[in-house]
Copies of this chain bind each other. A is one copy, B any other.
Amino acid sequence: MAKESWLPDYSPASDFSLANIPFGIISTPDNQTPRPAIAIGDFALDLKTWLPMINKETVSDVFPGVDISQLTHALSQSTLNAFAALGRPVHRIVRKGIQDLLPKDTPFPQLLQDNEEGRTKALKRLSEVTMHLPMEIGDYTDFYAGYHHAYAVGVIFRGPENALQSNYMHLPVGYHGRASSIVVDGTPIRRPVGQILLDPKAEPKQPVVGPTRKLDIELELGCFISKPNEMGEAVDVKQAQEHIFGYVLLNDWSARDIQAWEYVPLGPFNGKNFGTTISAWIVLADALEPFRVKSEIENKTELQGYLKEEGEKGAFDIKLEVDLTTADGSETTIGRTSSKYLMWSFPQMIAHHTLGGCPMRTGDLLGSGTISGPGGVKERGSLLEMTENGKNEVLLAGMNARTFLKDGDSVTLRGFCDDGSGVRVGFGRCAGKIYSAVQR
């Protein structure tokens, strides 16, 4: 991988290095139409604008074997669904082709580096672009594959003897989430109002209605589906990689008090459906391949055949962090962990999700479940765990402390992979600021 680019201010230590080339949907002050772009260093390359400026034969040299009319059409839409639907072999060629345009020694200088009109029209500073939801999301499913999170939450609510339910090691537990409230990085989140049982032990149980007192985050990895499956047909775990478009960071905002009262017997509902934030740039599946590792969680259970993967490296070592910024602007990193603590891989989640024939569509989103490490409160992906459900405080910079989130707080998730030699693939930011509940 070339490490230097002709782009101004380029650093290989950028989240959006030459090794990455994530895809997103941008608009700009001069063109409000949302459209596909890639991020590189401090810039977005507007693909909808750039691609038609180049003659088709030259483009074919950069993206060999790709139907250029089809690609141009896909990259002129307001979401990435059409591009995702072209399939992983096409994503691979297109990512590689764009990687070839950007190094100092690019074999195609005339396409962008020396093409002043192209650079002016299609290269935009990230600070000047507005990001949009990258995909039209048909269905969103949230899994529960973070072992240490599932265990810690189980201990809080049921004690260490019964922390994990008996199905946990046999199948990737998941539930259907709400697609309509998925928002992109930076979108404000309003504190939800809901039914809350202030005293869970009092009888008869008498809920009140008010703003959640236990507004929490969940640090997750999101996975977008590219290739769909027909209703009635399962995806083989060994083929499931070909159904993956790419990955984002995901914050599954959660109102713990609303959730606790409502969730029996059918699962979380209003405690979750008020908002889920994803990072704006989708890191393509191929960009993460160099960072495969074996999951840190050993599952000694003999797996059913449909969950057995080839190879051992089902996880990625994405370094993750949770930053909390208070209304006065002071920022504290409250959690650090890695996605290597996910016990189930996304191919296993896809194989399980489709086992009974459930159709997945291009643009469907899977959440990994909250990711926590084994090492105590500083490696946790939720305040629920960090504070033992509000019993302890998390100390912040500036003499602040939190059990759960206050109005005016912002939470920012960050994540990146690093191969130790300076090659970095990062996710950018997944942030949201809490606004006061509606007065009722």
Q: Does A176 contact B (CB under 8 A)?
A: yes
Q: Are B144 and A266 in contact (CB under 8 A)?
A: yes
Q: Are A231 and B355 in contact (CB under 8 A)?
A: no
Q: Are A190 and B273 in contact (CB under 8 A)?
A: no
Q: Are A193 and B270 in contact (CB under 8 A)?
A: no
Q: Which of B174, B175, B179, B438 contacts A357 (CB 8 A)?
A: B438
A436 to chain B, nearest CB (A): 11
- A interface, how many residues as a size bin? 35 or more
Q: Are B167 and A358 in contact (CB under 8 A)?
A: no
How would residues 261 to 282 of chain A score, 1 for a CB under 8 Å from any chain B CB and 0 otherwise?
A: 1111111111001110000000
Q: Are B181 and A358 in contact (CB under 8 A)?
A: yes
Q: Does A183 contact B (CB under 8 A)?
A: yes
- List residues of chain B with CB within 8 A of the CB of A233: 438
How would residues 157 to 171 of chain A score, 1 for a CB under 8 Å from any chain B CB and 0 otherwise?
A: 000000001110011
* Closest partner residue, chain B, to A173 (CB atom): B266
A146 to chain B, nearest CB (A): 13
Query: Within A233-286, which residues are at the interface with B (CB < 8 Å)?
Result: 233-234, 255, 258, 261-270, 273-275
- List residues of chain B with CB within 8 A of the CB of A177: 176
A contact residues vs B (CB 8 Å cutoff): 138-139, 142, 144, 165-167, 170-171, 173-181, 183, 190, 192-195, 204-205, 207-209, 212, 231-234, 255, 258, 261-270, 273-275, 304-306, 352-353, 355-361, 364, 435, 438, 440
Pairs A-B, 5 closest by C-beta atoms:
A267-B267, A192-B356, A175-B266, A190-B232, A176-B176
Chosen A-B contacts, 25 in total, with CB atoms closer than 8 Å, are A165-B264, A166-B204, A167-B205, A167-B262, A170-B205, A170-B207, A173-B262, A173-B266, A175-B268, A176-B267, A179-B179, A181-B357, A183-B231, A190-B231, A192-B355, A195-B304, A207-B304, A209-B306, A234-B440, A258-B356, A263-B267, A267-B267, A270-B355, A270-B356, A274-B358
